[in-house]
C-alpha cells in the first residue's frame, strides 16, 4: 500500500513534435517561445518551484536540448557579465540553481504517456507530478500547488488527482472529461471522479469538467502505461492508463483549480496568452 507523502518530483514531457506550430517548431521548440519575461517552459518550472517541487525531469526529443540548457548555470557567462560590470544581471541567472534537473529522451513520439514512461527509472517517490506545457495557470496559487496541497491533505493510500476546468459544453470533444460521484463537503472544488472519457461528444459528456494539463500520479501508473498502448493508433496516453486504473478501483480525484488557465498549444491560444501575461505584467 502506498503512503500519502510529500510530492517533490515532477515530470515535464516536452518531446512532442509541436505540429500546430510548424514551421516554427522545425527550429524552435514551442516551449521556448517567449511569454512575458520568460519562455513558456520557465513558467512551468516556476510553477514547480512555487509548489516546493525541486526535482524536475524533462522528457525531450532530439533537437530540444536547449530546453534543459536554459535552466543550467552558466559560469562563463556570469564571469563575463562580472567583467563588464553588469552585476545586476547575474542574480536572475542563478534563479534555478537550487533545483535538480534531469533529462531523458523520448526517441519516438508515441504519445504523452509514452513520454512519461521514459522517466520511470528516475522516479524515486510514491507519487510524481506531471505538468504539460500547453496549459499555464495564472493566479495567486499555481495549478500544481493547488493539486499538491489538496492531495497531500486528503489522499489516503493509492490514488491520483487531475486538474479540472469547467469548459463550455460545445468544447468537451477537446478534453478528457470526468464524471463525478461527489465532492468534498469542506472544499467543493475537490471532486471524487467516477469516470473519465477522452474527448466525448458534447451530448455524451458526463459533465463539463475537463482535465487540464496537471496531474499527480502514483508510481503504479508506470506499470499500467505499457498495457494501454494501441488504443490510439499505437500511442500510449496518460488518460488511458488512468481510465484503466479507475476501472480497477483506484481512487481518482479532480480539483477544479482556482485562477485563469491559458492554452499555449496553438498559435491562437499563444496569442491570447501573450495578452493575458501582458495584462498581468509578468
Of 189 and 199, nearer to ligand UTP (C-beta) is: 199
CA pair distance 280, 207, nearest whole angstrom: 31
User: Site for ligand UTP (CB under 6 A): which residue of 7, 9, 10, 18?
Assistant: 18
Strand partners, 209: 166
Q: Does residue number 20 form part of the binding site for ligand UTP (CB under 6 A)?
A: yes
Q: Does residue number 39 form part of the binding site for ligand UTP (CB under 6 A)?
A: no
- To the nearest whole angstrom, how small is the minimum distance from the Cβ of residue 29 to ligand UTP? 8
Q: Does residue number 232 form part of the binding site for ligand UTP (CB under 6 A)?
A: no
* Total residues in contact with ligand UTP, by rule CB under 6 A: 20
Binding map of ligand UTP across residues 238-267, x = CB under 6 A, - = no contact = ---------------------------x--
- To the nearest whole angstrom, how small is the minimum distance from the Cβ of residue 3 to ligand UTP? 29
- To the nearest whole angstrom, how small is the minimum distance from the Cβ of residue 81 to ligand UTP? 32
Q: Which of 111, 140, 116 is nearest to 129 (CA)?
A: 116
User: Site for ligand UTP (CB under 6 A): which residue of 14, 44, 119, 163?
Assistant: 14
- To the nearest whole angstrom, how small is the minimum distance from the Cβ of residue 1 to ligand UTP? 30
List the interface residues with ligand UTP, window 79-118 (CB under 6 A).
106, 109-112, 114-115
User: Site for ligand UTP (CB under 6 A): which residue of 132, 215, 222, 253?
Assistant: 132
Of 133 and 142, nearer to ligand UTP (C-beta) is: 133
Q: Does residue number 143 form part of the binding site for ligand UTP (CB under 6 A)?
A: no
Q: Does residue number 68 form part of the binding site for ligand UTP (CB under 6 A)?
A: no
Of 133 and 218, nearer to ligand UTP (C-beta) is: 133
- To the nearest whole angstrom, how small is the minimum distance from the Cβ of residue 186 to ligand UTP? 33
Q: What is the residue-wise DSSP string for the chain?
A: -PPP----EEEEE-----GGGTTGGGTS-GGGSEETTEEHHHHHHHHHHHTT--EEEEEE-TT-THHHHTTS--HHHHHHHHHTT-GGGHHHHTTTTTSEEEEEE-SS---HHHHHHTTGGG--SSEEEEE-TTEEEESSS-HHHHHHHHHHHH--SS-EEEEEEE--GGGGGGSEEEEEEEEETTEEEEEEEEEEEES--TTT-S-SEEEEEEEEEETTHHHHGGGGTTTBTTB--HHHHHHHHHHTT--EEEEE-SSEEEE-SSHHHHHHHHHHHHHTT-
Q: Does residue number 13 form part of the binding site for ligand UTP (CB under 6 A)?
A: yes
Q: Does residue number 17 form part of the binding site for ligand UTP (CB under 6 A)?
A: yes
Q: Which of 219, 239, 50, 221 is nearest to 149 (CA)?
A: 50
Candidates 12-20, 135-143, 191-199, 253-261 — which segment interacts with ligand UTP by CB under 6 A? 12-20
CA pair distance 26, 29, nearest whole angstrom: 8
Q: Which of 221, 238, 220 is nearest to 113 (CA)?
A: 238
* Interacting residue ranges for ligand UTP, rule: CB under 6 A: 13-20, 59, 106, 109-112, 114-115, 132-134, 265
Amino acid at each position: 500500500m502506498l503512503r500519502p507523502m510529500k510530492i517533490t518530483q515532477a515530470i515535464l514531457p516536452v518531446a512532442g513534435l509541436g505540429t500546430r506550430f510548424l514551421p516554427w517548431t522545425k527550429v524552435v521548440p514551442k516551449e521556448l517561445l517567449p511569454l512575458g519575461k520568460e519562455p513558456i517552459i520557465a513558467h512551468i518550472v516556476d510553477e514547480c518551484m512555487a509548489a516546493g517541487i525541486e526535482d524536475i525531469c524533462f522528457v525531450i526529443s532530439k533537437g530540444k536540448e536547449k530546453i534543459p540548457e536554459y535552466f543550467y548555470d552558466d559560469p562563463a557567462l556570469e564571469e563575463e557579465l562580472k567583467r563588464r560590470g553588469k552585476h545586476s544581471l547575474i542574480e536572475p541567472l542563478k534563479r534555478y540553481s537550487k533545483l535538480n534537473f534531469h533529462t531523458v529522451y523520448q526517441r519516438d513520439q508515441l504519445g504523452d504517456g509514452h513520454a512519461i514512461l521514459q522517466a520511470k527509472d528516475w522516479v524515486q517517490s510514491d507519487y510524481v507530478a506531471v505538468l504539460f506545457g500547453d496549459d499555464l495557470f495564472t493566479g495567486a496559487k499555481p495549478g500544481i500547488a493547488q493539486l499538491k496541497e489538496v492531495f497531500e491533505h486528503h489522499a489516503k493510500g493509492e490514488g491520483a488527482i487531475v486538474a479540472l476546468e469547467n469548459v463550455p459544453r460545445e468544447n468537451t470533444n477537446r478534453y478528457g472529461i470526468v464524471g463525478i460521484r461527489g465532492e468534498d463537503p469542506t472544499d467543493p472544488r475537490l471532486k471524487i471522479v467516477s469516470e473519465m472519457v477522452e474527448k466525448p461528444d458534447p451530448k455524451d459528456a458526463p459533465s463539463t469538467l475537463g482535465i487540464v494539463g496537471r496531474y499527480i500520479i502514483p508510481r503504479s501508473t508506470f506499470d499500467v502505461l505499457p498495457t494501454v498502448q494501441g488504443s490510439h493508433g499505437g500511442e500510449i496516453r496518460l488518460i488511458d492508463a488512468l481510465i484503466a486504473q479507475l476501472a480497477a478501483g483506484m481512487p481518482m480525484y479532480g480539483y477544479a483549480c482556482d485562477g485563469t488557465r491559458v492554452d499555449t498549444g496553438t498559435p491562437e491560444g499563444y496569442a491570447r496568452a501573450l495578452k493575458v501575461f501582458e495584462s498581468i505584467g509578468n
